[in-house]
Amino acid sequence: MAPAQPETVPAVILRTRPLGDADLVVVLMTPTHGKVEAAARNARKSRKRFAGGLSPGMRGNASIARSARSTSALLRLGGFEPTALHADVGRDLTRFAFVAYVCELTDELVLGQQPDPKLFSELCAVLEIILPGTLDARAPGPAVLRRYELVLLRELGLLPALRQCAVCGRTARAPVDTRVAFEARHGGVLCAEHGSRATRLDATVVAVAAALSGEHTDAAGLAEIDQRPPGFRRGLRDVTYGVLRQHLRRPLRSLALFRQLAIGGPRGSED
């Protein structure tokens, strides 16, 4: 429950939409209140109170409070103090597309106001990789998106079976260089008995997805995945996006950016 008195909380902006002539509704992810919507009064007319702007992917401290009309579910956004570099993101289309995708995916999959500090810190971590203190270095490859997709699924309790059969729980025998039965709509990996008609995937791809969904993945591990052959990366993308698609109510708008940029997003140039 959000406070009646203004409270300052760490937040990531996921989306904004116009409200009337002058206001904006800002969809925020917070560690303590989950996903909330707050009205930023005059944000479209006056640049003073939100001098740093209000763009998707921005990390900062948000001052939020329940509306004076307490019947309204909409909170009030009193201010937003950015805590990380963001202004230059439009200059780098890869980073821009990655940020748009991460924000839209989070917004689509996180439905309620359940506090989830772990998911919040993973969201901040992926944004930190995409938008570090300086944008001089090369933009990250798509492995960082695969990691975030899997972590998001894990935190929301939607992660498919990646090691044991989704039906019977037996370990699906799959030595390296073989193929393993996998059906997203049947819960993930399947054993020989339950997956006799299922799609077969490269067992290494599924093993890497399982590792990425775990607690820790370092930058070197992600870079190593980005250097693997296109077929491998395409397989990994198809595993994660095949699962995500089961939970999305509509196609994501940000995927159009990947198509335009041909940068290996969920439906990118590797098709």
Q: How many residues bind Zn ion (CB under 5 A)?
A: 5
> Which of 84, 167, 256, 261 is the binder for Zn ion (CB under 5 A)?
167
Q: Closer CB to Zn ion, residue 44 or residue 186?
A: 186
Residue matched to tokens 């799609």 = 199
Give the whole-angstrom CA distance, residue 96 versus residue 76. Answer: 27
Please state the closest distance from residue 190 (CB atom) to Zn ion, in A: 6
Closest CA relative to residue 146, chosen from 19, 266, 2, 261: 266
- 186 interacts with Zn ion by CB under 5 A: no
- 194 interacts with Zn ion by CB under 5 A: yes
Give the whole-angstrom CA distance, residue 203 versus residue 271. Answer: 20
- 161 interacts with Zn ion by CB under 5 A: no
- Contact between 105 and 149 under an 8 Å Cβ cutoff? The reply is yes
Give the whole-angstrom CA distance, residue 252 versus residue 246. Answer: 13
- Candidate ranges 62-70, 75-83, 123-131, 157-165; the one touching Zn ion (CB under 5 A): 157-165
> Which of 4, 22, 168, 262 is the binder for Zn ion (CB under 5 A)?
168
How wide is the angle at C-alpha 32 spanned by C-alphas 27 and 38, nearest 5°?
Answer: 25
- Candidate ranges 116-124, 155-163, 191-199, 211-219; the one touching Zn ion (CB under 5 A): 191-199
- 14 interacts with Zn ion by CB under 5 A: no
Closest CA relative to residue 268, chosen from 228, 229, 241: 241
- 84 interacts with Zn ion by CB under 5 A: no
> Which of 99, 165, 257, 263 is the binder for Zn ion (CB under 5 A)?
165
Q: Which residues bind Zn ion (CB under 5 A)?
A: 165, 167-168, 191, 194
